[in-house]
Amino acid sequence: MSNCNIQERRIGDVTVLDMDGNIKIGGSNVALKKAILNLVAEGRNQIVLNLARVVTSIRAAGATSLPARSL
């Protein structure tokens, strides 16, 4: 089971996605992908992922599942 909350905030032109919980393949990363793709579609391409409150470590496979065009 994945449990990840994503809160969006802006600092100037930068969008910060504050994440809280777990990131797992096929779970919460779907919500993360959607959040990033929506931001990019809006032309907001300066994105910071704040992982300070992510409870478990992110496996390498989880990080590579982010949309490549967004990085």
16 pLDDT higher than 90:
yes
Residue whose C-alpha is closest to residue 56's, from 22, 18, 28: 22
Give me 64's structure tokens.
């590579």
Share of the chain above pLDDT 70, in %: 68
CATH number of the domain encompassing residue 12: 3.30.750.24
Q: Is 58 left (phi over 0), alpha (psi -120 to 50) or beta?
A: beta
Q: Give the whole-angstrom CA distance, residue 46 versus residue 70.
A: 9
Q: Say if residue 15's pLDDT is above 90.
A: yes
Confidence at 1, pLDDT banded by 50, 70, 90: very low
C-alpha–C-alpha distance, residues 12 and 29, integer Å: 26
Q: What is the pTM of this model?
A: 0.71
Q: How far apart are CA 29 and CA 16, in angstroms?
A: 16
**Residue 28's domain spans which residues?**
4-70
For the chain, the domain total comes to 1
- Write out pLDDT tens, residues 34-68: 899 999 999 999 999 998 888 765 555 555 555 55
